[in-house]
Structure 1
Amino acid sequence: MSASDLAPTLPLLLETRLTERVWGGSRLKQLGAENGTAPIGEAWAVYEGNQIQNAPFAGQSLGDLAARFPAEVLGAHATGSRFPLLIKLLDCADWLSVQVHPNDEQAAQLEGAGELGKTEAWHILEAEAGAELIAGIREGTSPDDLKAAILRGDVMDYAERWPVEAGDTVMMPAGTLHALGPGLLLYEVQQTSDTTYRVYDWDRPASAGRALHLEKSAAVTTTNRAQPQSSPPATPGQRQKLTACPYFVLERLSGPELQSDTRGQSFHAVTVMAGEMTLVAGAEQLALKELESVVIPAAAGAYRLSGDFKALLSRLP
């Protein structure tokens, strides 16, 4: 039996995938090869297509490993063998399109069997003065008025804007109208889904891949609002819950030292937000730099983090 046939119990260091976006900036280019002047909007830090960088599973994808060893990678709280979360870093130099995501039932109905909805959460890492985002619909708007506004292209008359600062967290249930504004760098955790319905795109050309989806948007958008929430300062050496939903829990971590344990229940996906971190789990020791990500399999059990760092952790509830 080769080493790669053994069940994964040690941390999995992941390669990040950079994605060009018309609204992107330059703050994420440090994570990949030189991309010239193309704006980088997204860094896909933890997702099923990530390649593992460290032995013995180097070169394999996170999704393939989870499918082969669901209990060991995903944990007892998982409901299938597909890696269930997608974690991104977003650099917003301009407004993203105003959009909405379906829930699981709507996604299967509108896109086909097996398609998942998308509930997501944002944690603001950096925010320029005056930065804002759109999250939900203004109070007092009826569902009928909202649907009519979407279909005629007037949804911005009903969109709720919020000012945001570094450290704010926003839970975005499926069906909530939303858009990120310029001057934001943020962490996003979501269900493993890329189903997006674009409602308004700031009058950009409707080029390939940026078409509007008014009928589907009208069918799934709710009148909910999603107000940003601030959190108290992080406590050194502690895990601090920022937000939670039926799909994931998002926590904030900080050094100089932190002991934790997956207990076989869920993987822990850790992304270093600032500083440097040393992770020790069993016989494995990994040094992680700013914006690098690692998945600690559910079967890993106890582990220790040390260093002058700040990090975010996503896991199953």
Structure 2
Amino acid sequence: MDSNKGLYPIKFTPILKDKIWGGDKLESILGKKIAPLPNAGESWEISGVEGDISTVANGFLAGNNLQELIEIYMGELVGDKVYEKFGTEFPLLIKFIDANDDLSIQVHPDDELSKERHNAFGKTEMWYVVQADKDSTLISGFAKEVTKEEYVSAVEENTVMDMLNTETVTAGDVFFMPAGRVHAIGRGLLVAEIQQTSDVTYRIYDFNRKDAQGNGRELHTELAVDAIDFTKEDNYRTEYNAENNASTEVVSCEYFTTNVMNFDQKIEKNFNKLDSFVIYMCLEGAYTITWEEGTLEIGLGESILVPASLENFTLTPKGSTKLLEVYLKDSEK
């Protein structure tokens, strides 16, 4: 690895995950090659999760993994404040999820509980619905005020579904899932997910499904109770109005900021004051990124990481294009 050569926008080889609930939309809609997996449920686009660290697919860094890049380039790659806080651990996990069946209902602990129990970060996340079959739904939070005791009773009596909030969703819908919020992706949804780097999940309900041996999946009822936020929200959907040819902020929290970009003309980007890497996920169309030393074409379904040191660049769409733009606005909050 030649650390004297200039950094550039980086593509990674997707890490495809075979899931019993997966389908074929990662290929049919996003153009990914999913063979030989029978059910590709997830494509991990950019990952620093131990055992699943993304490998560079383009340029002179090809073959090196994300952790090796951070070790060499440090703040140049991720931003000085980000490196100060996270060291060589990449702070986000970027995924596409294809739910050909309902996923189990889950909750994730926050930073404090995760640190105490698992020596890990918590898991706050968000979903952007890329495509939705007719009448597809997801679960987010509670439909009514619930006490811890009422929840435990409902789990024991197998009536927990009665207290959860179900939303019918369409393409473009956004849901923010802070750690502690009960949630599940429903069948028929193709989702872009941005989350903290964490694989700590508590499964609280799995629709009484049995595997081929007749066994139900393990539930984490006791662990989940202390992690759940029982607050009922008035609106679980994230409302936004996407401007054309601009970045529209849809979610901003201490862990990440995500913008939607709908554009059909060239956009100049200046991130001189950001001090963070920037990730682009291409949801529709295709585009070219141009920086001082080169250009790179990015197609539908591809994700790139723009190093923090590349503060100025241009995005040129091929026709109408839609991206998610993700970065850490202030990692010191």
TM-score > 0.5, shorter chain as reference: yes
Residue type of the alignment partner of 2:76: E
Q: Specify which of 215, 227, 231 is matched with residue 220 of structure 1.
A: 227
Aligned: 1:247 with 2:255: yes
Give the conservation status (yes or no) of the 8 Å contact 2:43–2:95. Answer: yes
- The alignment status of 1:177 with 2:182, answered yes or no, reads yes
Match of 2:166 among 161, 169, 175: 161
Equivalent residues of 1:259, 1:302 under 8 A apart: yes
Determine the structure 1 residue equivalent to 2:33: 32
Alignment map for 1:61-210 (pairs within 5 Å): 61-78=65-82, 79-81=85-87, 82-111=89-118, 113=119, 115-150=120-155, 153-205=158-210, 210=217
Alpha-carbon spacing, 1:192–1:165, altered in 2? closer, same or farther (3 Å): same
For residues 155 and 240 of structure 1, the distance between their equivalents in structure 2, rounded to whole angstroms, comes to: 36
TM-score (norm: length of structure 2): 0.88
- Please identify runs of 4+ aligned residues in structure 1 that moved more than 4 A: 206-210
> What one-letter code is carried by the residue in structure 1 that aligns with 2:107?
V
Structure 1 distance, partners of 2:67, 2:245, is 31
1:262–1:299 CA contact under 8 A, matched in 2: no
Q: Output the amino acid matched with 1:110.
A: R
Cα RMSD after superposing both structures = 2.0
Distance 1:295 1:118 in 2: 21
Question: Aligned partners of 1:227 and 1:119: how far apart in 2?
Answer: 14
**8 Å Cα contact 1:164-1:228 kept in structure 2:** no
Structure 2 residue 286 is the aligned partner of structure 1 residue 276: yes
| Contact 1:10–1:282 (Cα < 8 Å) also in 2 | no
* Alignment of 1:41 onto 2:41: yes
Q: What percent identity do the matched residue pairs reach? A: 30
In structure 1, list runs of 5 or more residues that go unmatched: none
Q: CA 1:260/1:228 → structure 2, altered by over 3 Å: closer, same or farther?
A: same
> What letter corresponds to residue 176 of structure 1 in structure 2?
R
What is the CA–CA distance in structure 2 between the aligned matches of 1:227 and 1:195, rounded to whole Å?
22
Match of 2:3 among 5, 12, 27: 5
Amino acid aligned to 2:290 = V
Cα pair distance change 1:70/1:147, threshold 3 Å: farther
Report the 3-state secondary structure (helix = DSSP H, G, I; strand = E; otherwise coil) of the residue aligned with 1:31. Answer: coil
CA distance in 1, matches of 2:6, 2:124: 28
Answering whether residue 244 of structure 2 is matched by residue 257 of structure 1, we say no
The amino acid that maps onto 2:296 is L
Q: Which stretch of structure 1 is more off in the superposition, 187-196 or 146-155?
A: 146-155
Q: SS at the partner of 2:69?
A: helix
Structure 1 counterpart of 2:23, one-letter code = G
CA distance in 2, matches of 1:151, 1:62: 44
Tell me the secondary structure at the aligned position of residue 300 of structure 2. coil
2:15 is matched with which residue?
17
Q: Distance in 1 between matches of 2:239 and 2:208?
A: 32
- The two structures have a TM-score, normalised by structure 1, of 0.92
Q: Distance in 1 between matches of 2:216 and 2:286?
A: 37
Instruction: Name the count of aligned residue pairs.
Output: 311
Task: Describe the superposition over 1:245-269 as per-residue Cα deviations: whole angstroms up to 9, x where unpaired.
Answer: 1100011113321111332511001
SS class of match (2:151)? helix
